[in-house]
Amino acid sequence: MNWKWLAVASALLASIDISVSSAADIKLLSPIALRAVIADVTREFEKSSGDKVSVEYATVGVILDRLKRNEPADVAILAGPQLDELQKLGRIVAGSRVDVAQVGVGVFVRTGVPKPDVTSIDAFKRALANAKSISYGDPASGGVSGTHVAGLIERLGLTAEMKPRIRLLPNSQAVLQSVAKGEVDIGFGLTSDTTLVSGVDLVGALPTEIQNFTVYAAAAVAGTTQLEAANAFVSFLRSPATQSVLKSKGFESR
């Protein structure tokens, strides 16, 4: 037996084993609104780092509740206020937070139907008055666009008029699917949600006076056993490559 070659082969196998065992498996909790972005970003991160990212999607409210119940995770992406809340509870690694992107709330209709005017508050109110049905994410599920629209309708004094015509759904993706099927006339979601469902058109963003921008931020989760890899992924979310993907999907840089 050639002991020299046996030693070389053993060393090679050992190096491969070390490389495989050192690769991290990062658990990421991400809002549904970022699904199209995260799919591209995680693929590029895995190529460049050798680490694996396992993603679980939910509304911001659901992610917040899961982390408040101390569910294990390595990285979380949430709206800024929710991440601030987790920071106060000690559920986020201090100093790991980065702002990733921001996006506003938009009005959607089925592809091919006339688009209502929503360029002013009065025009927006007329569009709602003329709609046979509207839909947005159930605020109870914690989605940011649905929560804002529900409060907006109340502030505009339209609750009594619109209540019989409102269809609440679990999230904005379900809302846009309902719009695409012609089940509702107008749907609300984030302006970037056009990437989630085909068969819908973005009419436009809400007028500036009643707009709400959601800032998404990421951080390493306290208790992670993959802190180095988690921080590397969070940093990658601020890279030029990631910011380019975000812009292509309708998000604004922060």
H or E segment and range at residue 185: none
Helix 60-68 × helix 80-88 angle, to 10°: 10
pLDDT tens digits, residue range 5-16?
544 444 444 444
Taking alpha carbons only, the member of 103, 80, 105 closest to residue 92 is 80
pLDDT tens digits, residue range 195-248?
789 999 999 999 999 999 999 999 999 999 999 999 999 999 999 999 999 999
Is pLDDT of 2 > 80? no
Does the domain formed by 105-210 have CATH 3.40.190.10? yes
| pLDDT of amino acid 9 | 46
Helix (H, G, I), strand (E, B) or coil at 225: coil
| pLDDT of amino acid 19 | 44
Residue 194: count of CB within 10 angstroms of its CB: 18
Length of the chain measured in residues? 254
CATH topology of domain 3-102+214-253: D-Maltodextrin-Binding Protein; domain 2 (3.40.190)
Token reading at 138: 């159930």
As to burial, measured by CB atoms within 10 angstroms (0-12 exposed, 13-18 middle, 19+ buried), residue 126 is middle
Residues sharing a CB contact under 8 Å with residue 116, sequence separation 6 or more, in sequence order: 107, 109, 123, 126, 127, 130, 131, 186, 203
Is pLDDT of 113 > 50? yes
How many Å apart are CA 143 and CA 161, to the nearest integer? Answer: 23
Residue that the structure tokens 């688009």 belong to:
115
Identify residue 196 by its one-letter amino acid code. L
The DSSP bridge partners found for residue 106 are: 189, 205
pLDDT tens digits, residue range 4-62?
554 444 444 444 444 444 789 999 999 988 998 999 999 999 999 999 999 999 989 99
Is pLDDT of 194 > 80? yes
| pLDDT of amino acid 147 | 95
Token reading at 170: 């679990």
Extents of the domains making up the chain: 3-102+214-253, 105-210
Residues sharing a CB contact under 8 Å with residue 164, sequence separation 6 or more, in sequence order: none
Distance of CA 224 to the CA centre of its chain: 21
Gyration radius (Cα) of the chain, Å: 22
Token reading at 15: 């190096």
| pLDDT of amino acid 4 | 53
Tell whether pTM > 0.85. Answer: no
Is pLDDT of 92 > 80? yes
**How does DSSP classify residue 254?**
-
pLDDT tens digits, residue range 124-175?
999 999 999 999 999 998 889 999 999 999 999 999 999 999 999 999 999 9
| pLDDT of amino acid 236 | 97
DSSP H helices, 32-108, are 35-49, 60-68, 80-88
- Per CATH, 3-102+214-253 and 105-210 having the same topology is answered yes
| pLDDT of amino acid 23 | 83
